[in-house]
Amino acid sequence: MKKLIQIELIKILNYIPFRILLGLYVLAIILGLVIYPLVDKQVPMISLTDLFRFPDVWPFLTWVTEPYNILLALIVIMITTNEFSNHTFKNQIIFGLSRKELISQKLLLILMLALLATLLLTATSVLLGISYSYKLTFRIALENSWMVASYFLSSLAYMSFGLLFALLIKNTALTILGFIGFRTFIEPVLFLVFREREIRWFFPMRANTRLTPLPNLIEIFQRKLDSDQPVDEASLEILPRGLPLWTNILLVAAYIATVVFLAYKIMDRKRLT
């Protein structure tokens, strides 16, 4: 495993598009820290800083940064399709890697990027939470912090789907087009087509975005305005629509497992010449 990580690191750390995309990802999260408070001053009555307080900072930041995962998926797509266009998968086979190891390499990359993204998000959330919370206790700070695990799963799912698209299409431009097209056009259209049916909640991208849903903003602001009232536990319901939370988590985990299985199968049968 160490060997595969070392090989992958040599490849990606010297790959300029990787540095650019990862830089953009980090920049997007850091810029958020500067931009949200600036936006906040423009909105009367309601303060966005309320969303930066524990425990609301967790669902808010995971929801805001969830689309950034597309950047991570693009990294995986570019790195994988490049292996096809440069014929370097073939080269690695010749020199002694197995087809299984080729996929394991990419899965380890996905795992590393997901961990990095989750750590960055956790650090940002903690920083904002500490800066904006009136009252700071461990219990409040850790409440809803499990959303970070949800975000981690969401990152894994995005990148796994990216890998699957890359293995199937092989061409960089077409894969990016296919992935983004599926995420922003095909699935949303299907979602509308099936709007009367429960099946729509089982769509992969939809299930994935539901892992980090929009926080219940009304509840949060209401809670602030009427702060003497005890917090209604039901108001913290983070998944007001769609599948129950744990079903959704299991569904996305099942999607990831299926994608990993398919990735191994595809690589096993792929002609690498």
Partner 1 sequence: MSTILKIHQLSKSYRTIKAINKLDIAIQSGQSYGLLGPNGSGKTTTLSIITGILRQDSGSFLWFDKTPYAGQRKKIGSLIESPHFYPYLSLEKNLRIICRIKNSGCDDIERVLTETKLIHRKNSKFRTLSLGMKQRLGIAAALLGDPEVLVLDEPTNGLDPEGIAEVRETVMEQVKKGKTLILASHILSEVEKICDHVAILKNGELIAKGPVRELLTDEEVVEISCSDNERLFDILKKGEIVKEISRENSIMIATLHKGRTIGEINRHAFENDLVIEHLVSRRRSLESQFLELVK
User: Contact positions toward partner 1, by CB under 8 A?
Assistant: 3, 6-7, 10-11, 14-16, 82, 86-88, 90-98, 101, 271-273
3-state secondary structure of 207: helix
Given the complex with partner 1, which of 99 and 200 has the nearer CB atom? 99
Return the DSSP state at 244: -
3-state secondary structure of 238: coil
Given the complex with partner 1, which of 21 and 259 has the nearer CB atom? 21
- For every residue of 140-186, DSSP letters joined together read HHHTTTTHHHHHHHHHHHHHHHHHHHHHHH--HHHHHHHHHHIIIII
Alpha-carbon dihedral sign for residues 254, 260, 264, 270: positive
Smallest separation (angstroms) from partner 1 to the CB of 104:
12
Given the complex with partner 1, which of 133 and 172 has the nearer CB atom? 172
Smallest separation (angstroms) from partner 1 to the CB of 74:
17
Smallest separation (angstroms) from partner 1 to the CB of 11:
6
Residue that the structure tokens 């990993």 belong to:
260
Return the DSSP state at 214: P
Smallest separation (angstroms) from partner 1 to the CB of 79:
11
Given the complex with partner 1, which of 8 and 40 has the nearer CB atom? 8
